[in-house]
Structure 1
Amino acid sequence: MSDSLMEEIFIKRSQQKKKTSPLNYKERWFILTQEKIAYYDFDSEKGKRKGLKGAVDIEKIKCVETVQPEPNAPQERMYAFQIIYDEGPLYIFAKTDDIRALWIKKLKEVRFNKDLMQKYHPCFWVDGVWLCCQQEVKQAMGCKVLERKPLPPTPTEEKPGRPLPPGPPEPSAQSASMTVVAEYDYVPMTPQDLELRKDEEYTILERSDANWWKARDKYKEGYIPSNYVVEAEKGLERFWYCKNMNRSQAEQLLKSENKDGGFLMRDSSKAGKYTVSLLTKSGETGGSCRHYNICTTPQGQFYLAEKHHFNTIPELINYHQHNAAMVSRLKHIVSNRAQPPSTAGLGYVWEIDPRDLTFIKELGNGQFGVVKYGKWQGQHDVAIKMIKEGSMSEDDFIEEAKIMKLRHENLVQLYGVCTKQRPIYIVTEFLANGCLLTYLKEGLKQHPTTVQLLEMCKDVSEGMAYLEVQQYIHRDLAARNCLVDSNGTVKVTDFGLSYVLDDEYTSSAGSKFPVRWSPPEVLLYCKFSSKSDIWAYVLMWEVYTLGKLPYERLNNTEIVDQVSRGLRLFRPQLANEKIYSIMTSCWSDKADERPTFQELALTVQ
């Protein structure tokens, strides 16, 4: 293990993974290093550390904050703090407030994680409910905005139990120097931006914003989009690794190049894995695409062909570029780097000057107002949503907009907002093929294949899986709230607009939600959660019926009654039994039995 930065005996609370799990509190020996925080059993009489009980990688920590004491908590459990990571909160109790402050400060110093939370729960999760907001879903988004305040000063009155030698200085989350290579040209959009030239190197000075990094070239400093660069040490990978590409997109790109032995590497449908896609013309007219998963040996080596193992993926690719161990040698690198990705904003500035917007034509009239196609600064295509006054809680939206800077290839990119005037404008990327619902009904130029339909569903599930990890609840997932780009990729939109008010979503009980896409717990009790978003994967049914209206013969009142009694949508003609079983798994009466979007993203492939 790396040298420890801090050590302390704390009381740790059990995770309580189920409502029925009994709570327990045990003393553990905690050790913090640059890589992880680990906790051990220990012999209190001999003062010796015993077996490892658990650990959390520093890079997976999303939030470190205090926790308000439980009612009637004993003195030894008054100074709680939480470490939130993928599996949930790790609750730790310090002996004093100073010790707690010291550990929170140090954890925030060593942690560098682009995937930080924006909201958290200030109270405990106990017996299936958050004590602060009474939500009954453990993965529910936090109810308190995480303040980005300066770290507290290190307490001096009381020292931790075990004195430690001073460790080496650690880079903070605000600055971490590294060398990157530009994958795309970038023309500055604002005075704060820095120009990028493809394949040139830059030094990163600051990464406090996940989407915009402060960088320096040979002459000056400025902000660059973080998804336009790659670490220089990645070397050859940047030429043949295609980020954000699925199977059908890979086949389309390889066939458009039409070179025997054309290849690329992309993310596999299995999380954390990679696939090599290859076009071969051997013995087949026009050629065919083959897809090979990169496998790993128990010793951690990589291989495509079982007899040829390599320590790194670049070594593996290099070998197969020169040796025909598969159906064809990897002869020609095929890249999607010609088309740069969307940036999270039009430059580093988030608030957009409305005078920079030109309105060209109306695209539609949604529940929140008119949507228009336009240009920003006369050259960048954008969609502009003009929020009609009274249709949303504007103060709430302006606060929420500060934390809506999410970026994913299957989410419509929010570029910025105009909040200094009324009506408010929301400026997003423009997607040429428009609304998914209209695209299903009218936009498909030929009868779609089942592979096309499945790819649409996979796009949505991956976008929603990202929202799920970020602890966002969409509340209005449906085909009408997804858009399609010029390549046929589907992107989810209108996430974060939970403040929109509209009669279309009003049930007989007076609550506001999309009735035809809502589960029983929403219809009956207005309980929204990530699991109610899963039910709204009724969208998959919309895709396989090419845009039919769910329960088209029933009105809202009849839907509330019959869905609560067990009515479910029929199997679409284009969906086989396996596809329909995925749909029905999302429509379980019991929310806990529904899958997550991360599980759906792996299933829908």
Structure 2
Amino acid sequence: MSDIVLEEIFIKRSQQKKKTSPLNFKERWFILTQEKISYYDYDADKMKRKGFKGSVDLEKIKCVEIVQPEMGAPLERSFPFQIIYDEGPLYIFARNEDIRAQWIDTLKQMVHHNKDRMQKYHPCFWVDGMWLCCQQEVKQAMGCKVLDGKNGTSQRRKPRVREKPLPPTPTEEKVARPLPPEPAEPSGLSVGMTVRAEYDYSPITAQDLQLKKNGEYTILEMSDPNWWKARDQLGNEGYIPSNYVVEAKTGLEQYDWYCKNMNRSQAEALLKSENKDGGFLVRDSSKAGKYTVSLFSKGGGETQGSCKHYNICTSSQGQFYLAEKHNFNTIPELITYHQHNAAGMVSRLKYIISNRAQPPSTAGLGYGVWEIDPRYLTFIKELGNGQFGVVKYGKLRGQNDVAIKMIKEGSMSEDDFIEEAKIMMKLRHENLVQLYGVCTKQRPIYIVTEYLSNGCLLTYLKEGLTQHPTTVQLLEMCKDVTEGMAYLESKQYLHRDLAARNCLVDSNGTVKVTDFGLSRYVLDDEYTSSEGSKFPVRWSPPEVLLYCKFSSKSDIWAYGVLMWEVYTLGRLPYERLNNTEIVDQVPRGLRLYRPQLANERVYSIMTSCWQEKADERPSFQELGLLGKVCGQTRPQAGHKD
């Protein structure tokens, strides 16, 4: 082998997988010589190179440049760069900016005289069938940004002398109180840009700015990821909920028929609830970067009606179509045509069905607001009794639907929770029940949260579903929980009591995780001790049962049990055993059986969550591939099902 110029341990993204997921990112030992850059598997304990995994000849390299990190990427993937050669981009993630700059500079100097160097490149990633920077859907498409100078060659620093690569920094489970979420600007939006309001918003505090649907506003400040300071066209300034606005003129999001992030089950639930023949919406397809038209029809003498799903195809010329003889340059043109012509579908698109009638939940009820005046609450009906007391449905200021937990005295460590609530309110995800605020000036204290009309997931599984739920419905429920928990995991936040009883279901069938972290503040010995009858023994792994050792991996175990609850439609785990028997037998290898509705691939996901050793269980990020791993199939583009 030629003399080594540089070597380092990097994270590498797989080039072969069709869909991007956390499973595609592997640590590899990279070695740069005068002829090629090669990468290997390695033994992390002995710091020795193992199997050869691949290489790129330097003479084939066309471009070396940084890549803008994806929104929400974990810290270890904050410094990506790309090596472009004949087979496409090789994405590599450095541990810090200095190492990245060193490798980029060295590689640029070494390939400076290559013949086929590029003049334009893509500054963002190719992800799931699309360039994030320019939305082109052809991987070989020409870059959208011009390189500076001669292929971006710069003279920042000389490469340092070869040294032994450092081992990867070990990651430890952090169970202490997490820090507030770091502010993160979403991809494509920045201070000074113009945004369009997707919903009306009425100010609740003097600091807020009123939003009018489809009005345009200028972003002035983005230091808080949930509340941005903005200016309207009349010069008024104030804070707005960041999830109520999108970039002005951003494609499909300006149309009411486009339902972003809606899955198949949710689309069917919404269309059936409206019950209009010819009701339709456009949603993201299961194939990333593609779109599906979901249509409700009562044709053919059907009394109940049914939903059909048509994937929007792209021709070789880049035009869009549902029926092959009717091609259009844009999706809005296609929709307009089919609003007047069925052209092969069961019906023309008659009525726009939108999920934008109800605005999303906000992180709190105003910028910086966490204490709520109880005089603004109206109690309407009791929903049930929880661990901390009675839960009621009500209204805030007569307009916002809320759930109100009335905390019975002596059930909670109140002072600790009140401090934690300020942090919890900043957690915002579409699969988490939003905490709006607390009422702490009187006793009992109140916890005010988002209200979900379909109630507890456990009850919904037993009573709310049809007698014969589809496997797609059950899988979507699990995926909803996965995504909410992956967000908590990314914030180093533990749930500690994940179960179907601690998830809620909204009117569209979306499942959201609730009561995350609250178990830390329970004062009931029967609940906090693993010997207690209220302790969630049936959802706990061996290390919790034996040593009360909680981590994100104990949440993973509980998630596997929750999946089992979903696929048994709400049965009690280990239903024939008492808690003492479970504590005795689970550490010795007892596991739940495969539910009848779960195929082997779904059950393999459950059992992966129940590995005896915590570090052998997957993360929630890795479980994000659930639908693909379980072999979920959808119709081919342009075909109905």
TM-score if structure 2 supplies the norm length?
0.65
Distance 1:93 1:256 in 2: 52
Distance 1:279 1:423, change over 3 A: closer
What is the CA distance between 1:324 and its match in structure 2? 4.9
Counting only pairs closer than 5 Å after superposition, residues 105-184 of structure 1 correspond to structure 2 as 126=167, 129-130=170-171, 134-135=172-173, 145=179, 176-184=191-199
Q: Cα–Cα, structure 1 residues 171 and 369, in superposed 2: closer, same or farther, change >3 Å?
A: closer
Compute the displacement of 1:517 (Å).
0.8
Residues 55, 217 of structure 1: alpha-carbon distance in 2 compared, 3 angstrom cutoff:
closer
CA 125–381 in structure 1, closer or farther in 2 if over 3 Å, else same: farther
Query: How far 1:190 sits from its partner (Å)?
Result: 1.6
Residue 366 of structure 2 is aligned to residue 347 of structure 1: yes
When residues 424 and 448 of structure 1 are mapped into structure 2, their CA distance, relative to the original with a 3 A threshold, is farther
Cα distance between partner residues in 2 of 1:410 and 1:370: 23
Question: Match of 1:385, SS?
Answer: strand
Name the counterpart of 2:310. Answer: 292
Query: Deviation of residue 481 (structure 1)?
Result: 0.7
Answer yes or no: is the 8 Å Cα contact 1:476–1:513 preserved in 2. no
1:495 offset after TM fit, Å?
A: 1.8
Write the deviation string for residues 200-231 of structure 1: whole angstroms up to 9, x where unpaired.
33333223322222222233122222222333
Distance, in Å, in 1 between the alignment partners of 2:93 and 2:554 is 22
Q: 1:592 and 1:355 mapped to 2: Cα distance?
A: 47
Q: Indicate the residue corresponding to 1:105 in structure 2.
A: none
- Quote the residue 2:10 is aligned against: 14
SS at structure 2 position matched to 1:195: coil
Counterpart for residue 534 of structure 1: 556
- What is the distance in 2 between the residues matched to 1:142 and 1:12? 32
* Alpha-carbon spacing, 1:561–1:51, altered in 2? closer, same or farther (3 Å): farther
How many pairs align?
Answer: 512
* 1:51 Cα offset (Å): 6.8
- Quick one: structure 1 residues 554 and 299, their matched pair in 2 at CA, closer, same or farther if it must change by over 3 Å? farther
Deviation at 1:550, TM superposition (A): 1.3
Report SS of the residue matched to 1:536. helix
Q: Which amino acid aligns with 1:92?
A: N
Q: How far off its partner does 1:307 sit? A: 6.9
Shift of 1:566: 2.1
Paired residues of 1:14 and 1:25 also in contact (CA < 8 A): no
Cα 1:496/1:601, change in 2 over 3 Å: farther
Q: Which runs of 5+ in 2 are unaligned?
A: 14-22, 35-55, 82-90, 100-122, 125-164, 633-641
Q: How far apart, in 2, do the equivalents of 1:293 and 1:172 lie?
A: 26
Which amino acid in structure 2 is aligned with residue 541 of structure 1? Answer: W
**Aligned residue identity for 2:502:** N
Is residue 2:467 matched to residue 1:467? no
CA distance in 2, matches of 1:503, 1:300: 64
Does 2:386 match 1:366?
Answer: yes
Of 80, 83, 101, 2:78 maps to 83
Task: Judge conservation of contact 1:62–1:84 (CA < 8 Å) in 2.
Answer: no
Deviation (angstroms), 1:365: 4.1
Tell me the amino acid that sits aligned with residue 196 of structure 2. Answer: V
CA distance 1:601–1:369, shift in 2 (3 Å): farther
CA distance in 2, matches of 1:229, 1:295: 29
Is 1:234 matched with 2:250?
yes
**Residue 513 of structure 2 is aligned to residue 492 of structure 1:** yes
How far off its partner does 1:174 sit? 11
Secondary structure of the 1:204 match is strand
Q: Residues 158-557 of structure 1: matches in 2 within 5 Å?
A: 176-219=191-234, 220-234=236-250, 237-270=254-287, 272-283=289-300, 285-286=302-303, 287-294=305-312, 304=322, 312-318=330-336, 320-321=338-339, 324-327=342-345, 328-358=347-377, 360=379, 363-387=383-407, 388=409, 391-392=412-413, 394-395=415-416, 398-399=419-420, 401-402=422-423, 404-418=425-439, 425-441=446-462, 443-444=463-464, 447=467, 449-450=469-470, 453-497=474-518, 499-501=520-522, 502-506=524-528, 514-524=536-546, 526-537=548-559, 538-557=561-580
1:597 equivalenced with 2:623 (yes/no): yes
Q: 2:626, 2:498 → 1: CA distance?
A: 15
Alpha-carbon displacement from aligned partner over 1:38-89 (angstroms, at most 9, x marks no partner): xxx999xxxx99776784424436577xxxxxxxxxxxxxxxx983789997
* Structure 2 SS opposite 1:233: coil
Distance in 2 (alpha carbons) for counterparts of 1:455 and 1:147: 27
Aligned 8 A contact 1:181 1:202 in 2: yes
Q: Which amino acid aligns with 2:10?
A: S
Assess if the C-alpha contact under 8 Å between 1:207 and 1:213 holds in 2. Answer: yes
Distance in 2 between residues matched to 1:296 and 1:528, nearest whole Å = 49
Q: Is the 8 A contact 2:270 2:508 kept in 1?
A: no
**Percent of aligned positions that are identical:** 65
**CA offset at residue 233 of structure 1?**
0.5
The 1:458–1:146 alpha-carbon spacing in structure 2 relative to 1, beyond 3 Å, is: closer
Mark the CA change 1:478 to 1:275 in structure 2 (over 3 Å): closer, same or farther: same
Does the aligned pair in 2 maintain the 1:212–1:225 contact within 8 Å?
Answer: yes
Superposition deviation, residue 559 in structure 1: 1.5
Which amino acid counterpart does residue 483 of structure 2 have in structure 1? E
Is the CA contact 2:320–2:331 (under 8 Å) kept in the aligned structure 1?
yes
* Matched ranges for 1:573-584 at <5 A: 573-575=596-598, 579-584=602-607
Give the secondary structure class of the aligned counterpart of 1:559.
Answer: helix
2:68 paired residue among 45, 57, 66:
57
Pick from 558, 565, 586: which aligns with 2:581? 558
Query: What secondary structure sits across from 1:215 in the alignment?
Result: strand
Q: Do the aligned partners of 2:10 and 2:92 also contact (CA within 8 Å) in 1? A: no
Q: Provide the alpha-carbon RMSD of the alignment.
A: 4.8
Deviation of residue 289 (structure 1)? 1.8
The letter for the 1-side match of 2:364 is: G
Relative distance call for 1:225 and 1:61 in structure 2 (3 A) is: closer
Contact preservation (8 Å) 2:280, 2:349:
yes
Cα distance change of structure 1 residues 326 and 232 upon mapping to structure 2, 3 Å threshold? farther
Distance (whole Å) between structure 2 residues aligned to residue 171 and residue 337 of structure 1: 21
Q: Is the 2:181–2:427 Cα contact (8 Å) retained in structure 1? A: no
